[in-house]
Structure 1
Amino acid sequence: MEADSAKHPGSAWGRGVSRFVALALAMLLAGCAGLPKETERPPSHAFADTANTALGRLAVAGAPDAQQSGFRLLPLPAFSMHARLELVRRAQRSIDVQYYLVQNDETGRYLLRTLRDAAERGVRVRVLIDDLYTAGADALLASLAAHPNVEVRLFNPFPAGRGRLITRLAASLLDIDRIHRRMHNKLFVADNAMAVVGGRNIANEYFMRDAGANFIDIDTLVAGAVVPRLSSLFDTYWNSPYVYPIESIAQAEGTPAQRRQRFEEMTWDAAMWAPQTPIERDLLGYQALAEDLDAGALSLVWARAEAYADAPHKALGPLEERPRVTADAPEGVLFNVRRHVRAARRDALVTTPYLIPGRGGMESVRQLRERGVRFTLVTNSLAATDESLVHVGYRRYRPELVRLGVELYELSPKRVERTRRFGIFGSASGRLDGKSAVVDGKVVFIGSLNFDPRSDLHNTELGLFIHSPQIAAQLTSLIGFIAMDAAYRVRLGPSGNIEWMSPSEDGGPDVVHHEEPETDFGSRLKLELLAPLVPESLL
């Protein structure tokens, strides 16, 4: 065939055109495909009677009273993954998992394998994943769902072209208003007694196992009164009409027994990547969770807390049911973040990987600064971000933020590598992914909400609000490590242009950068070309 094409390049070009036309036609036809109309979704809910499980007994025994919840911040990836795995291994009744991303890599496959092991010992496992990044994982997820006690469901799935992201998007061009709306929630609950909440997805780059780039993030272990509330929020999504069983979307080949064998074949190699139990203490002085669980006593900070999640119809309900301004939805995450931040009397500290304040956010900042409230923001630099288009939106607001007196910091990949406080990044870049806030040293937000229009308008989010000066002091300290050891301080120079400051490596005067640091001319030029073309509402 190759020789024939070489002799007749015109015929090869013709075949190429024919293939392109055929592919385009197939995609156009697929674009007319819709989601299944008659889909069975057997409703299920969190078990309420889990107080006699091992995790339930520990949670009850440690609580000062029935109204409080216990927390342990998980800033280091190894401790955060270890906490999830220990909850899976010790769960006796149920495990509920809800994520924007469960990657088909060593981290994702190992976690799915441990969930399979829990199901085999009789634990009910419910896995809910947003469908945006599951391309190529249908066989893996359908094989997991073939095990007794396991159900896998997808939020807002793609009905066609499922093998690759590009074919999925092409096959759904006529349904673009639906497919760009996603479930960004991150939640992990065991026995309706303990949970992990925060910003991490399940993928190598969230747990320091990626060769290219790894994220600095924050999760928290949760026990006590707020956990049933988290379970009820999971149930709302699990039983919603926007969620589809994997079997109704993906073609599952073979018998259930064959699919279970297929799962074993697809995940056995991940066992070789089993994360090790941390042997040292973390940044806050905590030991590995397994040691506490073995000893029968949890080291937690107990406090009053609230949990919120956007309703699923924020993303996918009929237009008349979607909140026009999500800040006006009292049960939503954004409403409650703004409520607490706007009430600040002394100081507010916010971290977010993507920062596009918009008019509402800028007005909030302006009011806080007029009242003399100290406002600190920590976000990614252009060199650190994995979404340069979002940086286009952010930089439109950067000069005004600095003029208002906001203490603005941008993460530096080089400084992250040098500090090693958050792990050994080696040749991998460091990026910020933590979504958090501290208000007046007593109220803490930890969750999935980015401070950008996509989180505001199009994606669903989940978050915790913890009323604890001790947790606030811990998180403030962690964010301080980032700002002082791993970031640039952004200021306005004498001519009014943005400047970036960092300490000198040899102890001399601060180094001042006049261009986006750690970037080249090409990346900055691309930003200039894209800036006029990017609609802020989609960022």
Structure 2
Amino acid sequence: MRLRPSLWPHWVRLGLAWMAVLFLASGCAMLPPEFERTPSKAVPLDPNTTLGRIAKSSQPDPDLSGFRLMPGGDFALNTRLELARRAERTLDVQYYQIHDDETGRYLMRALRDAALRGVRVRVLMDDLYTSGEDELLLALAATPNVELRLFNPFPAGRGSMLGRFSASLFDFTRVNRRMHNKLFIADGAMAVAGGRNIGNEYFTQTAGANFIDLDTFVAGALVPRLASLFDQYWNSEYVRPIETVVASGAPREERQRRFEELTGPRTTPAPRPPAPNDVLGYSPMVEDLKAGKLDLIWTRAEAYADAPERVIGKQVSYGGIPLLDVDSVRYNVIEQIRRGRSDVTIVSPYLIPGKGGLDAMREVHGRGMKISVVTNSLAATDEPMVHTGYRRYRKDMLKLGAEIYELSSQRTRRSVRLGLFGTQIGRLHAKSAVIDGRTLFVGSMNFDPRSDIHNTEIGLIIFSREMAQQVLKLIEVLKQQGAYKVRFAPGTERIEWVSEEGGVEQVLTSEPDSTFWDRMMLEILAPLAPESLL
């Protein structure tokens, strides 16, 4: 059974969007005039709070950070909800997308409930995917102690993606730059960071296609750094309170009543509880919180985020000369790869290495490092246009000796072990890298031009052999039971996709699990897709 019957609907929507951007815009809307900004800062850990006391008593050394990987969606969602329920002072929430679905509304309701207990709640969302959500977001923002801000907002056409880009044709360079960060911090004591947006499919809460993704729980020395990165965005001039972007004639009390209606039990049932243990053998984080002691891996780590100024294409420079942005996520991940000695494994759902990425691969390959890459197949991806960019580099990566694996929606659904990730899976969304089996990157950054040029990202570099090995084990399961290995046919440069079914090698000579029309559209649109916009 296919993950979905065809990629045609996506192609049609994409084509219409491009036509609208190019031909339908009749003007350029502008954001409202400047307003009085109210800066605020993260509140540091307070050992008198419950979460603060647990975090402090669990930390073996003040210089170490504690982590627990969360590959299971139900565990990752439950952790966020439990932190929201137990927070006593602050919640800082930063996401690229918070969907208007059961998961998104339930989390918003948990934030609302925390605010009613007196918790200061700061919600920062990128504005790209908020189409049609203005009423819900304004309703949440009407709650006392809640402030909701939008990063790089669209000034008009807010009811649809088509209308937004049509109204911003002459401001396309700005609105094409987005905040892709994902971060959740409770009481300055505990955090969750990684690749997940907030929506049903990111937490295995839908019977349809769910994402294979990866987050990590964080406590200890790294949390203040994450809080400062949040503040950097929250107080940026490219962020606006939603009320300064969207007008609402409804009084605050009416908006609060409307929020209750929109997120009530009739439309927003509680998510199912997590399983007793996840794929790594951990019990839900709520058990640790109840026991008052965190069972984490304590180690040294670093956190990076791209500057919000990327929204205007600002580069780090000295005397007008561009410099390397040494605080960017990509720079630091590439540096860790370049320092590697034996091997690197990269997981990226949207993979377009570009010339710079190929040069880095060539450099480490020349030193004898083994390169392994895991990404989506054409049938598994939710962004087929990105696949057109990826396939331009597929042969070049193979020539450099890289092992390439493409996730198969059909194989993941047949795998018993991968069923531990959720009942219905089929798309890769995790972003990670493991260097030399001892250094781990987890974050929001894809290895593609959009993450490199247009989006801001956040990422953690964790120096832990134990955690690196955990991720490698997860990746090995994906490779063996959920992916095709891509290779050259013997003696040729013709690409083949290989899998093992029942101990027998299966070889395909065309994009797996895809239809003729999927592949035809790929050929037609590939020359029309500028790599820098993918």
TM-score range, shorter chain: over 0.9
- Which of 511, 517, 523 is the equivalent residue of 1:528? 523
Where does residue 500 of structure 2 map in the other structure?
503
Contact preservation (8 Å) 2:177, 2:454: yes
Question: What is the one-letter code of the residue matched to 1:118?
Answer: A
After superposition, the C-alpha distances for 1:274-318 in whole angstroms (9 at most, x for unaligned) are 123324211111101111111111110000010000000022255
Contact preservation (8 Å) 2:445, 2:451: yes
TM-score between both structures, scaled by the size of structure 2: 0.92
Contact preservation (8 Å) 1:242, 1:316: no
Where does residue 223 of structure 2 map in the other structure?
227
Counterparts of 1:440 and 1:324 in 2: how far apart (Å)? Answer: 38
- Which of 263, 277, 288 is the equivalent residue of 2:259? 263
Counterparts of 2:352 and 2:268 in 1: how far apart (Å)? Answer: 41
Which stretch has the larger CA shift, 43-52 or 312-321? 312-321
- Which of 511, 514, 523 is the equivalent residue of 1:519? 514
Counterparts of 1:451 and 1:414 in 2: how far apart (Å)? Answer: 25
Where does residue 115 of structure 2 map in the other structure?
119
Where does residue 297 of structure 2 map in the other structure?
301
- Which of 346, 359, 364 is the equivalent residue of 1:363? 359
Cα 1:181–1:324 shift into 2, 3 Å: farther
Question: What is the one-letter code of the residue matched to 2:262?
Answer: M
Contact preservation (8 Å) 1:314, 1:322: no
Which stretch has the larger CA shift, 202-211 or 401-410? 202-211
Cα 1:315–1:421 shift into 2, 3 Å: farther
Question: What is the one-letter code of the residue matched to 1:301?
Answer: I
Where does residue 39 of structure 1 map in the other structure?
35
Alignment of 1:266-281 (within 5 A): 266-269=262-265, 272-281=268-277
The answer for unaligned runs of 5 or more in structure 2 is 1-19
Counterparts of 1:266 and 1:42 in 2: how far apart (Å)? Answer: 29
Deviation at 1:92, TM superposition (A): 0.6
Deviation at 1:403, TM superposition (A): 1.8
- Which of 77, 82, 90 is the equivalent residue of 2:73? 77
After superposition, the C-alpha distances for 1:88-141 in whole angstroms (9 at most, x for unaligned) are 001110000000000111110000000000000000000000000001111101
Contact preservation (8 Å) 1:403, 1:492: no
Question: What do you get for the CA RMSD once the two structures are aligned?
Answer: 2.2
Give 1 or 2 for the bigger CA radius of gyration.
1
Question: What is the one-letter code of the residue matched to 1:517?
Answer: P
Cα 1:307–1:131 shift into 2, 3 Å: same
Q: Secondary structure at the match of 2:303?
A: strand
Q: Secondary structure at the match of 2:264?
A: helix
Q: What is the aligned residue count?
A: 513
Contact preservation (8 Å) 1:212, 1:427: no
Contact preservation (8 Å) 2:41, 2:231: yes
Counterparts of 1:383 and 1:538 in 2: how far apart (Å)? Answer: 21
Counterparts of 1:167 and 1:269 in 2: how far apart (Å)? Answer: 32
Where does residue 469 of structure 1 map in the other structure?
465
Contact preservation (8 Å) 2:441, 2:459: yes
Counterparts of 1:206 and 1:490 in 2: how far apart (Å)? Answer: 27
Question: What is the one-letter code of the residue matched to 2:183?
Answer: L
Q: Secondary structure at the match of 1:503?
A: strand
Percent identity reads 55
Deviation at 1:39, TM superposition (A): 1.9
Cα 1:219–1:399 shift into 2, 3 Å: same
Contact preservation (8 Å) 2:126, 2:150: yes
Where does residue 235 of structure 2 map in the other structure?
239
Question: What is the one-letter code of the residue matched to 2:399?
Answer: R
The answer for unaligned runs of 5 or more in structure 1 is 1-22
Cα 1:250–1:423 shift into 2, 3 Å: farther
Where does residue 56 of structure 2 map in the other structure?
60
Question: What is the one-letter code of the residue matched to 1:522?
Answer: W
Where does residue 15 of structure 2 map in the other structure?
none
Cα 1:425–1:319 shift into 2, 3 Å: closer
